[in-house]
Amino acid sequence: MMFAFAHNNINVLDLERSAAFYREALGLREARRKTADDGSFILVFLSDGITPHQLELTWLRDRKEPYNLGDNEFHLAVMVDDFEGARARHKERGVVCYENEKMGIYFIEDPDGYWVEIVPGKR
């Protein structure tokens, strides 16, 4: 028996704003979308176009208040082939929320407060 990652999910308040963030900040593109028959939710699956793993954005029609992320001790991580170029772009956009130069990583924050770790593709 083998298991393989399929996707991770995060819930978002503004689906289009979040999809735009992930497209502009990380180059993720919409792979598929599922809308509930009654319109109560929309799922958007984002792909990097390289791996089969996807990020699922879930929008709930009746949700109006921000999500409580607690201590936000969880995060996504992505590798980038041009680390310095990515960091410059993210700093220019004002989305870098934490840098750990000693470890050679940094984090960006999405519109809902989720953190994404950026790591160099090759060390």
In the chain, the largest separation of any two C-alpha atoms, in whole Å, equals: 50
User: Is 92 known to be catalytic?
Assistant: no
User: What phi and psi values does residue 89 have, to the nearest 5 degrees?
Assistant: -65, -45
Q: Which of 10, 57, 95 lies closest to 86 in space, CA to CA?
A: 95
- Active-site option among 30, 56, 99, 117: 117
Neighbours of 87 (CB within 10 A): 18
CA 88, 57, 59, 72 dihedral sign is negative
Are 97 and 8 a contacting pair, CB within 8 Å? no
Please list the active-site residues: 117
